Chain A
Amino acid sequence: MPELAGLGRYTGPATLILSSLAGGAKHGYALTKDVEQFSGVRLSPGTLYAALSRLVDQKLIEPIPSEDDRRRPYRITAIGSAALQSQLSEQRRVADVGLRRLKGLVTP
């Protein structure tokens, strides 16, 4: 099972990209806009394409044929879906623990 944590500093951008592609195939510009819309994070082009390049290398996403030579859309692969599921479940577990502990925190 591939793990997004292996992508080092690109783990965060990779999670956002995979989450965006889970909603359907997109090219670079559409990805930037979608990620900004649902997360409030605006990925810089250098970071976005560095993460895309690594995701393609790891076969977590794949380019799909397009009639427009200037734009290359990507879609999430089955391995990518499994990696995203694992990453988000882990993030949810951490978030749940944090929220539960915050609830029990006694404020002065």
Chain B
Amino acid sequence: MTSVTDRSAAWLARLYPAQWRRDFPDFVEVLTEELPGRPLRVVADVVVSSTVERFRSAGMLPTRPADRSRAGLAVVAAALLPFAALSMGMWSQLHTGLAAQGPGAPASLKWTVAILAVAMAVGLATASAGVVAFALRCLWSRPSLPRAAAPNSSTVRPAVAFCVSIGALSLTGWLADRSGWYSPAAAGLPHHGAAQLPTLWIRGIVATITPAWVHPTVFGQMPPGDLLATLAAPIATLVATASLVRLVRRLPAAPSRRVEEGFAIGAVGTMTLAVGACTRWLLTHPGRQGALPRLANHDPLAPGHTGWLVVMALAMLTALAAIGLRWVLERGSPWSATDG
């Protein structure tokens, strides 16, 4: 029969990634010995260490220099995804003057459709170019293709986790959308047809950065659907980000240094420009925002200003991508003579 200490130790060990548990099979034994004497200190230490290990296993805290480049690329990709969704919402709002316009308003619809079309075209073109480049590379290195390119559990699991978390994010976005609670970043986006899907993601992500975190009384005013989205969307977003990082790190394709570094530099440059443009717009158009009048939204420099919250979120994602870019560039200049 197992004791309470044994069960607690086994439960605590499950906080670590599965591969880590396989690498350190005697961890539970040491934990079982240490738990009774100083439970609080040991539990706190395990919770912190296991969280760090989770981030490391997701590739966000690499220790080996060889891992840092691919990890940096993964971090850039993970930051770019929510950035793209958020900035689309933000830009459509900027073009309508952050006014409380419904999705059917001509100005909202025109800019939203235009921005979505450009974003989708760029995304599709990039994805197509990537697929073609990967196919050509596989043709040229055919002998090593089946083994290198075959999907395996290390890539399937994060892919499934990514799809599930994006599904959860869409669901939370749908719940929030149906709740009737106003969302400044998503108000101008389409609510019909296939284009509704990114709207739902934006709605879910925006629920994550709601002014309610700054003004907690807003939580009490939220409809149940929006409240649920506010609480669940951060988890779904985090899982989606971590899964994407894992997936990118484990993909069998190995793009050249120039492609990796060009992608990272281009992504961070575009993100920085977008943040700068949004900031400039907010500074030159004060007082036009009327989303939540009771939250001092007329003052664009007030801490609860929705536009600034979105810009701050975009800036944080840009900073995260910049960290990834630094890791990618650490191994040298892409245009140096040693490039291979």
Contact = CB atoms under 8 A, between A and B. Distances in A.
Contact of B63 (A49, A52, A58): A58
B17 to A, nearest CB: 11
A44 B25 contact: no
A52 B45 contact: no
Given A44-B42, A45-B34, A70 B53 contact: no
Nearest to A59: B64
A71 interface: yes
Contacts of B24: 28, 49, 52-53, 72
Interface residues of B, number: 23
B26 A28 contact: yes
Interface residues of A, number: 22
B299 interface: no
B192 interface: no
Interface of B is mostly: helix
Interface in B15-55: 20, 23-27, 29-31, 33-34, 41-42, 45-50, 52-53
Given A44-B34, A45-B34, A58-B63, A29 B29 contact: yes
A54 interface: yes
Contacts of A69: 25
Most chain B C-beta atoms within 10 Å of own C-beta, residue among A49, A57, A69, A70: A49
A45 B30 CA distance: 6
Interface of A is mostly: helix
B20 A53 contact: yes
Contacts of B63: 54, 57-58
Contact of B25 (A46, A50, A70): A70
A71 B50 CA distance: 20
Contacts of A53: 20, 23-24, 53
A45 B46 contact: yes
Nearest to B31: A45
Contacts of B27: 28, 45, 49
Contacts of B45: 44-47
A4 interface: no
Given A53-B20, A58-B63, A46 B26 contact: no
A50 B42 contact: no
Interface string A14-50: 0000000000000111001000000000101111111
23 contacts: A28-B26, A28-B27, A28-B30, A29-B29, A29-B33, A32-B33, A42-B34, A44-B41, A44-B42, A44-B46, A45-B30, A46-B42, A46-B47, A46-B50, A49-B27, A49-B30, A50-B52, A56-B23, A70-B25, A70-B26, A71-B26, A72-B23, A72-B26
Interface of A: 27-29, 32, 42, 44-50, 52-54, 56-58, 69-72
